[in-house]
Amino acid sequence: MRILADRNIPFAVEVFSQFGHVRLASGREITPEMVREAEILVVRSVTRVDSALLEGSPVRFVGTATIGTDHIDLRYLKERGIVFADAAGSNATSVAEYVTAALLYVEQRDGISFEGKTLGVVGVGNVGSRVVRKGLALGMKVLRNDPPRAEREGPTGFVDLERVLVEADVVTLHTPLERGGAHPTFHLIGEAELSRLKPGSLLLNTARGAVVDNPALLRALKGGRLAGAVLDVWENEPDPDVDLVARTRIATPHIAGYSFDGKIAGTRMMAEAIGRFLGAPFGWPEGLGAQERRSTVPLQGEGREAVRSAVLSAYPIGEDDARMRGILDLTPPERPAFFDRLRKEYPVRREFHQHAPPGGISDESALEILAALGFVW
């Protein structure tokens, strides 16, 4: 069996080779010529998989080691009888921890606290549900907005988008990108929605770039009505608007879900799906991906300060932001390759459960919050 995989999928060769010969390629450079030599294609979010890529190829299985499917023409795959699998949920914890670190980083830098403030979570699926739990752990009030879930489950526990916009101090987006259907999310946050956001609020987008109208957001940030924006995803990736990058509170290159643990989970889910497709047993190679656990993170100060010190030691999100801002010094032709290189060379980031506070800590309130955020000891 011939397998073509994105080279940014960790351990793709080591894991997928039990099913056949594995060829790796850069996700943005996968061509129709390449897929004509493969029966199995495994991608990440940067590869558009549609008739233009697959027509005339022998591909019988397509997998994406990510939680989104807006880059996949699912209707075409179904028409062709091509089996499809995604890795929904694989990096949900990673993204929720990104949001947590972003909030605490803004707190630390601005000398504020979001405790007691209102968090509006738009999209309460695998990721959004975890964000809700972490927001509650940080002492925030939470508003949940998810029209598809409200239709299926009833309105209890959900609010409409208008209420989120006017009441939330922080709005964080976790929807898929849908351009049609009953609940489109393309430019879900546009000029009108931005104008209704609570003055001084903070907007976070870790979903897809086009869920927010980027030019409209830039105008809103220039107007000073919002406290700022935290953006991990951008319209026109890998060439984001550098004026928007410069105006954000935190800017990162689509890496919110890039924890080592999340990426490994995506690889495992793809291997399991290929195994089911082929009717072949799947075994994770012994010791593969094992890394020494960092046993402790520092707790500096007490209470909220201690929580911030632990979270920002486990995930120093400010370093991601600093690396991203290197794009501001580049010429336009250099920027896309730089954006992709930041993703390709992203340092190992472990999730909170791989960290523990030092022993002998008597601040029970801080320890309770850290436990609720996912730290273990």
29 catalytic? Reply is no
Give phi and psi for 278, each to the nearest 5: -90, -10
Residue in 219, 222, 160 with CA at minimum distance from that of residue 192: 219
Q: Of residues 144, 249, 254, 355, which has the active-site annotation?
A: 254
CA distance linking residue 21 with residue 66, whole number of Å: 22
For residue 216, give both structure tokens. 């409209």
Q: Of residues 208, 247, 323, 335, which has the active-site annotation?
A: 208
* Beta bridge pairs of residue 229: 203
Give phi and psi for 61, each to the nearest 5: -140, 130
Query: 266 vs 123, 253, 364, CA distance in Å?
Result: 21, 19, 35
SS3 content of the chain, % helix, strand, coil (to 5): 45, 15, 45
208 catalytic? Reply is yes
Q: Of residues 235, 237, 247, 355, which has the active-site annotation?
A: 237
Task: Provide the residue count of the chain.
Answer: 377
Query: Which residue's structure tokens are 């410069």?
Result: 246
Degrees, nearest 5: CA angle 77-55-59: 60
268 catalytic? Reply is no
Residue in 104, 64, 106, 109 with CA at minimum distance from that of residue 87: 64
Which residues form the catalytic set? 208, 237, 254
